[in-house]
Amino acid sequence: MILNGLMARMHTGKHGKSKSRKPDVRLGVRPEGIVISNEEVVKLITDYAKQGKHQAQIGELLKTKHGIPYVRQLFGKRLGDVLEENGFKAEIPQDMMDLLRKAITLRRHLERNHNDVHNRTRLNRVEAKIWRLSNYYKNTGAMPADWKYDPVKVALLIKS
């Protein structure tokens, strides 16, 4: 829905700013001040992935501990592509897993608090996001085409 040239948020009556806050970076151009070679960066990424860190955590660690602002600026490809090339492709993308975790915790909360109407609405919104995102990922091939959102199965998947 576009109103007065601005994009509106889906689940609120307000407008938002939908632009990137990242600085303008040229891909493939090595930033100044980085002394680590690309091979060492790949080794750091794979080590963090072996420790069970997901993409956002790996990017944050590279930025804070090692002074590497953007992996894409070094390699010309995204962090997820580097992980995939090194054999760390997740069956379900990380943003979908985060939404699934949120839905499971909301369901658990609603089992204990039946009259919590606001969180029931919030659960409906999160599940709507899950359905939309799953359709997108199924169409792009990032998730299996026969995947369906079942809260019981997802709770078991997240526990393991």
Q: Tokens 């997901």 belong to which residue?
A: 54
pLDDT digits (tens, 9 = 90+) for 63-115: 999 988 888 888 888 898 999 999 888 888 888 999 999 999 999 999 999 99
Read off the pLDDT of each residue in 115-125 and give the average, rounded to a whole number.
96
Q: How far apart are CA 117 and CA 113, in angstroms?
A: 9
pLDDT digits (tens, 9 = 90+) for 7-40: 556 777 777 766 777 776 776 677 778 888 889 9
User: How confident is the model at residue 4, as a pLDDT?
Assistant: 52
Cα–Cα distances in Å, from 21 out to 17, 18, 70, 73? Answer: 10, 9, 13, 15
The pLDDT-based confidence of 159 (bands split at 50, 70, 90) is: confident
User: How confident is the model at residue 114, as a pLDDT?
Assistant: 94
Sign of torsion over alpha carbons 138, 87, 80, 96: positive
The pLDDT-based confidence of 1 (bands split at 50, 70, 90) is: very low
CB 133 within 8 Å of CB 96: yes
Task: Name the range with the highest mean pLDDT among 2-11, 128-137, 147-156.
Answer: 128-137
User: How confident is the model at residue 71, as a pLDDT?
Assistant: 87
**60, pLDDT greater than 60:** yes
**43, pLDDT greater than 80:** yes
**54, pLDDT greater than 80:** yes
User: How confident is the model at residue 61, as a pLDDT?
Assistant: 95
User: How confident is the model at residue 107, as a pLDDT?
Assistant: 95
Tell me, rounded to whole angstroms, the distance of Cα 119 from its chain centroid.
22
What are 24's two structure tokens? 């303008």
List Cβ<8 Å contacts ≥24 apart for 22-27.
Answer: 22/70, 25/69, 25/70, 25/72, 25/73, 26/73, 27/72, 27/73, 27/76
Q: How far apart are CA 28 and CA 75, in angstroms?
A: 6
Print burial letters for 59-77: b (CB count within 10 Å at least 16), e (below 16). Answer: bebbeeeeebbbbbbbbee
User: How confident is the model at residue 69, as a pLDDT?
Assistant: 86
